[in-house]
Structure 1
Amino acid sequence: MTSSSESPRELSTFDSGLSSISDNRSESRDFDGPSNLLSIVVPKLEERDLVLADVKAEPISEESPISPTEPARRRGRGRPRVHPPKSPISSSKAKARSKTGCTTCRKRKKKCDETRPFCLSCQKNNIHCEGYKPVEIWKSGKERAAEARRASTDMGFDLPPLMEGVENDVDRVLLQHFVSRASCVLSLQGNHSNNPFTKILIPMAMKHEGLMHSVLCLSASHLCSLSPSEEYEERQIFHRGRALHLLNRDLERHRNGEDGGIFYQDYNVAQILLHLLHSICDGNISGEYRMHMIAAKQIAMTQKSKDPEFQSLFDEFFYYHWIASQITSLNSAEIPMMDDFNLPFQVNPETAALIGVSDGLFGFISKISNLRRRIRSRIDNKIEPTMDLEAISQSHAIDSGLRAWVCPIAPGTPRYTISMLYRQATWVYLYRTVKPSRPDPHIKRAVDDAIAYIDKLPAEGWIQSNVLLPLFLIGCAAFEESQRVEVNRAFNGLRACTGLGNIGFAKEVVDRIWELMDRGDPESWDWEKIIHSQGWDFLVT
């Protein structure tokens, strides 16, 4: 085969050669035998220099590469290759598949972009990505055998409770809540080291399971009032049931004598106080507190504790709630008082946990409650005049005593401010008892001054714990709309700060009194009857 670049002269020479060969072949036909064929001579073509344009690309072979173990095969004659063949060793190397892709892409045999925690490829194709297998750390055979032996012999045990009654993580939260917050809204002592609930009751509860259940029940009730929770509610019911069961068991055990008298141990007395406080936190309005109040009254009249600290705590808390119960109840007996309006025991005002008992103000409040019962009885029996000479004499003595009262706390402290608030509220209580139920400049001034005291108090649980009782009395005397705005604000702040369940019911009673005031109803002074008509019985403490 010739190239297209051959000249006409070369072609003519090549043609003449071929014609001579043809003539010779025609002449040889006359001879027989193979010897005649051998006599034919084929002229040899001279090789020309290789031109790059003459080289054609070698077709790609579909055959597998030659194994290095097989003998090399001779390449057929032809034009030389432009590129050398690839090394059979290098061409046999294939790219290894990645083993770090997500489980889904590996199952689908798709390329994974290995985005964590879930690959984008699965998200793009709207496929659930199963994530990545955990990295397995290589371990020797000895290590794997040791792990297998440990797995077969090791057993896990829960740690036993450190304190009786504290049985799980929720109970531990309840105990911490009682120490850090609940105890602070039940006492004026904000410092945990001076708070009687943490200083006296918690060490006692560590030794007595029933008292610990009572503590946790009260704490769960307070937590539920702050943020209702089914979990806390279940623990509250559980601890209350256990506490009452253990209390009844102890009382049966301590019965002695033919008259069936009971001697109450200190931890049983503490349980009674905590159940009394539980009815306050829980917002109970069915009078549940009364059975605990009756038991506490019997204890107060018949026995004393050998621990003077605990006896002081009991006296203060019992008399505080006993006298406060007269403010909202028709069924209250007269409390014995000394001639100077003081209670028949002494409490140091500096260490007092509540306001009004240690400084004598609750003596005035009790006298006013007795006076209200007398006036109510005369009204119900239509006896005139309503304010007889004896009632006038009692009201005058109370008013004189309040004016001569001196606060035992140093001025400039929150305790001094709340003590003055109690004094102001006690005078308002007296005014609403002996004066007609209508607006008057004197009662307006007294309520305004009381609101000013409330505004000065810090918004802290330990000081707000004693505000509900004076706030209720002031609210029941707020004839002016501007005063009611401030009273509403104080109620909302108190509810948010302390979380006590009885605050909402106290505010409902105040709202009802305001309605009667606006109608000019002369019975707006007698909120005890209003509470009784609702079928409610609760404490404003």
Structure 2
Amino acid sequence: MDPAGVKMLLYTRLAPPKEPKRRSRAGCTFCKEKKKKCDEGRPQCSRCVEHGATCIYEALRPRRRRKASLATSSSSTISSNDSHRLSLSRRLSDFGYDSDSASPPESTEVDYMFSPPDLHQSTYWNAPSPTPSHPLISPTESLFTLPDLSHAEELTEDAEDGGVAESWTTYTAVTTVSRPRPYYPDLAMIAPCPVTSPLFEFHSPAFSEFTDRPNRRALVDHFCNILSHLIVFREESGNPFQQLVLPLTRQSSPVLNAIFALASAHLEYRGIQNEEHSLFFHNQAIQGLGRLIEQSAKSNRNEILATIMLLIYYEVLVQRGRSNLVDGHLKGALTIMCTTPEPSDSTSIFLERAFRFYDVIAALSNGRAPLSAAPTAGCLMPFPPLGAPIASPLSNVDTLLGMATTLWPIIHRLSSIVTLKSDLQAAIWSNASASKIAVLRTELEATTQAIEAALSRWQPQLPPGFAPDEEVDQKTNKTDKVHSTHLSHGSKIDVMSPTVAERSRLHSIWHNALAYRHSAFVYLYRSVHGYRRSHRAVQEHTHRSLLHCAATVKHEGPMGALLWPLFVAACEAVTENDRGLAEQAFEKVKKRQGMRNIERAWEIVREVWERADRVESVAGAGAGAGAGVDRGAKEQEKLGDMETGEDLWRQVSREMGVSVVFG
């Protein structure tokens, strides 16, 4: 063909612009994990349909742009207050877990009833000789410092859209988040808040720095705002469980699981069910504790002790049959304290104080000697919350022992007398040598006389500026106003005088300490000396203890440590008046605390009353008819030798199949 004859038309057509690739932020979690583009089909995208995955769309969070460093110059237009609030809000968004960057694996069904490892066979439970007392340090030291946000790297859009991914590590049945150490939120900011949410300054959802699961955040909220306030005496500058124990969760999942277990169990007893059962968290905490102990050289002593003490609180609250787990945990805590250096911080001091409390209470509950040595006189000083002022109306109040700090060494020695009495009885029954029996009897008599004299002399050490304005009248059961001359130090008292609310709280703590004193007398006379229930000394101290218990709940102060004196006195109550006081106090304590051991203790007290009344009625009938004397003796032997043998309440609890720790 002739090229000249070809007519050609040349032209240029502009191609349509190529649509830029944009990463969707509204895609499903499955596509984000695979780093694939999601067509955002509803209810399921095509990729999830193809792979048979569950298609989940999360709430779309506002996009963060690149921002300048928070370290602004003096010419910045942002005020210092605004900068402070901004830095607080960024702690969770920039240094916490970003739900848009990585999605947690889907929750799977877990068998909550699997058994925890048998730690009783490990060296964890082999306690060495008792640990000596540790000196206290200044509780006002700051244990944590805020991270320097001015040098933190800013997250870019790509990082926000999926470039930054957290690594998820699965241990057995529990899934935890593994973060680089600098990314842990500083929990010291939540410490000083005694009433409201520790994260009140931050954006919702609250407690998101602990976990991304709403049900677990609710458990942290319950622990901080409800449970932690029920088990301490003093928190004018903050709650010690929030100040000292909660920060340990940033490094240790066993501590956090123990908190979950305790809070969940407390809610379950109140009829509130969580998505995950408390037993599941308990087993996870036990397994994590075992791993911490295996690597004890690399583990923090406080993390191990905190996990153990929280598990003790859990076991006391749950009360599953005649379990000896509390004793096992106490042996483990003693082992840790003896094999690691002495405490040098407030957290260690606080955890050891919690151990001392439960060591004595468990000994009194189970009829054995404490595991640790008795503290020397003046060794235990009142432990305040962090930041508490030195000149405070609560200066003589201990966080866990109240005004009974100086009484605790006496109670410690009292709890060990039962074993000394058992040794004497065993020597007599086994026909031991006369010299051995004489030595044991002399030791028992000398110890009991010393304890009785110490209890007679002891009085609570009142804080400066506080004098009780009431005395309990044991005849009228009323509290009479009295004019005290306890005030001193001149004008300083006006500065340190407690407010109306503080006075009510102090009166409750004061009555609590006196209830311990009188119940200690009852325990000494009944369980050690073997006095009859109707003995004048027994009934006098029983009545006075119940009056102080009733006054404690009347002032609506702390009731977390009231169960032991209330139970000991209530078991020996004979008159309708005393039993009415006991019932009133039990009802208010049970309603306030909401714990299973209080309900179990009340059930035991009522059974003790029923059996004691039955024995008295049978004995009275036998006294009226000569032929009925033998029948009354046999009935008393059948119901238990209440006067010279085992305590009736111990026999009742054994037959009921429960063991109650009165803490």
Q: Same fold (TM over 0.5)?
A: yes
Tell me the SS of whatever aligns to 2:336. helix
Partner residue, 1:250? 292
Residue of structure 2 in register with 1:300 after alignment: 337
For 2:346, which of 309, 316, 323 is the aligned residue? 309
Q: Given that residues 185 and 461 in structure 1 are in contact (C-alpha distance below 8 angstroms), is that contact kept between their aligned partners in structure 2?
A: no
- Alpha carbons of structure 1 residues 211 and 451: separation in structure 2 relative to 1, 3 Å: same
Residue number in structure 2 paired with 1:103: none
Structure 1 residue 332: deviation in Å?
3.9
Maintained 8 Å contact 1:221/1:236: yes
Deviation, 1:435, is: 4.1
1:172 equivalent in structure 2? 217
Task: Name the residue aligned to 1:394.
Answer: 447
**Aligned partners of 1:386, 1:454: CA distance in 2, in Å?**
38
For 1:464, what is the secondary structure of its paired residue? coil
Do the aligned residues in 2 keep the contact of 1:447 with 1:474 (CA within 8 Å)? Answer: yes
Which aligned pairs between 1:196-211 and structure 2 lie closer than 5 A? 196-211=240-255
In 1, the alpha carbon distance for the partners of 2:554 and 2:656 equals 32
Q: Deviations over 1:311-367 (max 9, x none)?
A: 221121101101111112145456422564x6x554447352222796232222222
Distance 1:254 1:366, change over 3 A: closer
The 5 A counterparts of 1:419-438 are 419-432=513-526, 433-438=528-533
Q: Distance in 1 between matches of 2:225 and 2:516?
A: 27
Which residue of 385, 404, 407 maps to 2:457? 404
1:177 deviates by: 0.8
Q: Secondary structure at the match of 2:260?
A: helix
Q: Give TM-score scaled by structure 2 length.
A: 0.52
The answer to whether 1:354 aligns with 2:390 is: no
The amino acid across from 2:590 in the alignment is: R
How far apart are the structure 1 equivalents of 2:215 and 2:556? 23
Q: Do residues 236 (structure 1) and 282 (structure 2) align?
A: no
Pairs within 5 Å for 1:314-463: 314-333=351-370, 335-338=372-375, 340=377, 345-348=380-383, 350=396, 352-355=398-401, 359-379=405-425, 382=428, 388-410=441-463, 411-412=467-468, 413=506, 414-432=508-526, 433-458=528-553, 463=558
Q: CA offsets, 1:147-177, max 9 Å, x none?
A: xxx9986694366387576242111111111
Output the amino acid matched with 1:265: R
CA contact (8 A) 1:183 1:195 kept: yes
SS in 2 for 1:463: coil
Within the alignment, does 1:477 sit opposite 2:572 as a pair?
A: yes
SS of aligned partner of 1:270:
helix
Structure number, greater radius of gyration:
1
Offset at residue 388 of structure 1 (A): 3.8
Aligned match of 2:310: 274
Q: Does 1:486 align with 2:581?
A: yes
What aligned pairs does 1:177-216 form with structure 2 within 5 A after superposition? 177-191=222-236, 193-216=237-260
Distance in 2 (CA, whole Å) between partners of 1:380 and 1:511 is: 31
CA RMSD of aligned residues (A): 3.3
Paired with 1:375 and 1:513, the residues of 2 have a C-alpha distance of 23
Residues 400-457 of structure 1, C-alpha deviations (whole Å, 9 max, x = no match) = 1112213123333222221122112212221223142231333222222222212222
Pairwise CA distance, 1:527: 3.7
| Contact kept? 2:381, 2:405, Cα under 8 Å | no
1:74-131 deviation digits (Å, cap 9, x = unpaired): xxxxxxxxxxxxxxxxxxxxxxxxxxxxxxxxxxxxxxxxxxxxxxxxxxxxxxxxxx
Matched with 1:540 is 662
The one-letter code matched in structure 1 to 2:455 is L
Deviations 1:192-234 (A, max 9, x none): x4321011112222343321221111111111112242x35x3
Is residue 326 of structure 2 the alignment partner of residue 289 of structure 1?
Answer: yes
For the residue of structure 1 that corresponds to 2:462, the secondary structure is coil
Separation in 2, partners of 1:439, 1:322: 31
Aligned CA distance change for structure 1 residues 495 and 358 (closer, same or farther; 3 Å): closer
Using the TM superposition, give the Cα deviation of residue 398 of structure 1 relative to its aligned residue in structure 2, in angstroms.
1.0
- Could you tell me how far 1:189 is from its partner in structure 2? 2.5
What amino acid is the match of 2:399? A
Alignment of 1:494-533 (within 5 A): 494-518=589-613, 519=615, 521-522=642-643, 523=645, 525=647, 527-532=649-654
Percent identity for Structure 1 against Structure 2 = 18
Report the Cα offset of residue 532 of structure 1: 4.4
How does the TM-score come out when normalised to structure 1?
Answer: 0.63
Q: Distance in 2 between matches of 1:201 and 1:435?
A: 42
Local SS of the residue matching 1:244: helix
**Cα displacement (A) at 1:525:** 3.5
User: Which residue matches 1:122?
Assistant: none
Letter in 2 for 1:247: L
What is the CA distance between 1:253 and its match in structure 2? 2.2
Which amino acid is 1:249 matched to? R
Deviation by residue 1:225-283 (Cα, 9 ceiling, x = unmatched): 12242x35x34233223322322222222359xxxxxx653122111110110111212
**Distance in structure 1 (CA, Å) of the matches to 2:609 and 2:439:** 24
Aligned CA distance change for structure 1 residues 307 and 390 (closer, same or farther; 3 Å): closer
The whole-number CA distance in structure 1 between the counterparts of 2:370 and 2:253 is: 34
Q: Please tell me the residue identity of whatever aligns with 2:292.
A: D
Q: Which amino acid aligns with 2:226?
A: R
In 1, distance between residues paired with 2:557 and 2:244?
A: 17
Aligned residue pairs, count: 382
**1:122-137 to 2 correspondence within 5 Å?**
none
Closer, same or farther: CA 355–333 of 1 in aligned 2, 3 Å: closer
* CA distance 1:290–1:416, change in 2 (3 Å): same
| 1:295 Cα deviation from its structure 2 partner | 0.8
Provide the rounded CA distance (Å) in 2 between the counterparts of 1:385 and 1:313.
42
Q: Is the 8 A contact 1:448 1:483 kept in 2?
A: yes
